[in-house]
Every structure is written in structure tokens, then in C-alpha cells.
Amino acid sequence: MAQNKTIAVAMSGGVDSSTVAAMLRAEGHDVIGLTMQLWNQRRLAGHEGMPEAVQGRCCSLDDVYDARRVAETLGIPYYVVNHEDRFERDVVQPFVEEYLSGRTPIPCSLCNNHLKFDQLLIVAQQIGADALATGHYARVEFDDKSGRWLLKRPADLAKDQTYFLFGLTQDQLSRTLFPLGEMTKPQVRDLARHHGLALAAKPDSQEICFVPGGDYKKFLDAYLAEQGESLPDTAGELVTTDGQVIGEHDGIHKFTVGQRKGLGVATGSPLYVIQIKGDQRQVVVGKQEDLYSRTLRAHRVNLIAVEDLREPMRVRVKIRHRHEGAPAILETSGHDEVLVTFDEPQRAITPGQAAVFYDGEVVVGGGWIV
């Protein structure tokens, strides 16, 4: 980077964002460290089924401590900003509602859309930063031909986080830096050691930051109890794909499309959850092959590489973070809705997850599976 800029870095206390701060500082930029306080990890501690002392990912005091130590080592100003209200409204409550409606949500995308690249980006600009840098593995660049900012897959495809970033607008992308886009994770750890960061060997975090231990069912119970509500009764029937009732279940939020275990019925051949009908509280079960489908619809679509979809487009579509992507035709099918038709049927297309469309390494856009 030629020019000396003022850059805010979203610091989580992990290796990736810490290394970003170190890199930008070494390049001579004025770097400001920011950590978002999003969720009080002690809030649900002690509720039934929740651990007494919670070691969460973001917002745990240990991580704030780590981020602050990194800032100190680098000699950069560092601040914690509180966005707990907004996080609860835009991430936690939708997360709870989605599960209760029989869908499987992705809170990290919502957090990126509503917190990191919205609230935090605004704060970054307000305090005088030209851009916000994060430790995501992705690339952003301006395409002269189309006149658009492009989101692209990173050099380290194993760490690709573009699936969670499909909601970024042109304005957001224009003010965002992903300095790790060209690097692999081992290189990042080496660089962290090179810069003398004590947390170079800190393990990666995988789970949802506000759901300790990853047990979302216990989280739903504890959260609703804290709100003075009890879990709504979403118990209902277990039906086969041809509508035959074969048993009962005790709540749709306990099921995910593709799930095999824990159905509570014994039949000769293995049964899978094929579909969750939230309005009828039915869980539809069937055989492995019933899980496959050639089409999906997605709504609340955000397009990045193109302004609109005038004609059908050949793309690869990822239907979950760990899905490798499958060739498909993408076309408009209504207002703010697209139809994806895969070349080959895909297993367990799950409402509530995102469908993200790729043209090679470029993210065309994405939407939420209905």
C-alpha cells in the first residue's frame, strides 16, 4: 500500500485479526484497534443447562484482554465498543425465531451484515478511519471493467470465509480491507510470531460465539427462560414423505434437515429428516434418497459482482459453509428471489442457510434459502 492511511482493525483477540493489526502497523499505517462487545457471556451463566463460567469466543473478557495486549505490543490505540443491544436485536433474536420456525440459521452472516460491516464500519468512519480491516479470509478488489467492487475467494481455500460475507454491499466493500486474503493460515501464524505476538499459537475458534459448547437447544431454553418466556410448544407429528403419520416429536427446533439420529422411531431402514413444516409443526422423514433435490429458492438476495440478473447465469452454488459448491443455473424467479437449478441433485438443502453463488473465485452474490 503506497499511501499512509488511518485504518481501524476489528480485533477479536484471535490470531487472524491480531496479525492484521500487526501487518498494517508494519506497513506504516495509523492503526486503531476496535473490539465489539456484543454479548455478555455471563448473562445466561447458571441457567439450567448452561455452564457456570462461560468461555465464549467473542466478548469474553479473556479475548478482550488478548486484543488489548496485542494493541499494547503494537503501540496502537485500542477501544472496546458496546453493540450488545443491536446484536441481540439483529442476531440473537432472529437466531431464536429461526429455530422455532423450523429453520437452521447462520448467525455469523447476520453479524457481518448488521454489526461488523454496518455498526462497526460506521464507528470506524466516525472516528476518522479511512477503512475497516478484518481478519477474514477473503479478497476484495475493484473491477474496472464492471465498475464494481468484487468479493473473491482467498488464496487459502481451506479457510475461505466468503460464504459468510455474501451480504456485503458495494459501499461496505469499498471501505473494507481483508489483508489475509493472499495468505495461508500457517503463514499467518508465522507472521504473528515474527511480530512477537504472544497468541500466535492460540487455537482457532469454531463455534457460534454466544452459544457456549455449541449446544443451541440449551441456549434456546436458557435465553427464553431469561426473557420470562417458556419455549413455545412446537411438538407435533412425525410424518413420511407420503403424509403417513408414524409418530410424534417434542419440538421442531430440535431437528435439522438431513439429521438421522434421535428421531425416536424404529423402522427397518435408516430414516432422515427431509423437511420441517414449521406452520404445521410436522417433521417429514424419509429415505436417504429423498434428501436430494435439484432446485432451491433463495430470497433477500444480495448481488455483488453484477447489478442484476437479466438472464440465467452459470454458477457454482454453496448451500452450507462446508459444501464445496455445485454447478447450477441461477435465474430470477420473483421480486428479490432467485431459483437455483443444480446439474446434479444436492443433499439436504436446508431452509435458513445461505445459498452463495460463485463464478470461479468471484462471489456473484447470495441469498437465504426458503
Residues that bind another protein (CB under 8 A): 30, 32, 35, 37, 59, 61, 64, 68, 75-77, 79-82, 122-123, 125-128
CB of 136 to another protein, least distance (A): 22
CB of 48 to another protein, least distance (A): 21
Of the residues 58, 59, 108, 209, which is catalytic? 209
In the annotation, is 108 catalytic? no
CB of 32 to another protein, least distance (A): 7
Residues found in the chain: 370
Measured from the CB atom, is 9 or 151 closer to another protein?
9
Measured from the CB atom, is 79 or 292 closer to another protein?
79
Q: Which of 307, 360, 354 is nearest to 165 (CA)?
A: 354
Rounded Cα distance between 306 and 327, Å, is 18
CB of 165 to another protein, least distance (A): 21
In the annotation, is 111 catalytic? yes
Rounded Cα distance between 176 and 131, Å, is 6
Measured from the CB atom, is 116 or 323 closer to another protein?
116
Rounded Cα distance between 253 and 255, Å, is 5
Cβ–Cβ < 8 Å for 233, 100: no
The residue to which cell 488489548 is assigned: 68
Rounded Cα distance between 350 and 319, Å, is 8
- Written as one string, the DSSP assignment of 267-281 is -SS--EEEEEEGGGT
CB of 8 to another protein, least distance (A): 10
- What does the DSSP 8-state code read for residue 90? I
Of the residues 58, 59, 108, 111, which is catalytic? 111
Measured from the CB atom, is 84 or 190 closer to another protein?
84
Measured from the CB atom, is 71 or 285 closer to another protein?
71
55: Cβ contacts below 8 Å, ≥ 6 apart = 41, 62, 212
Rounded Cα distance between 176 and 201, Å, is 26
Rounded Cα distance between 314 and 16, Å, is 33
Rounded Cα distance between 126 and 151, Å, is 24
Catalytic residue numbers, as ranges:
111, 209
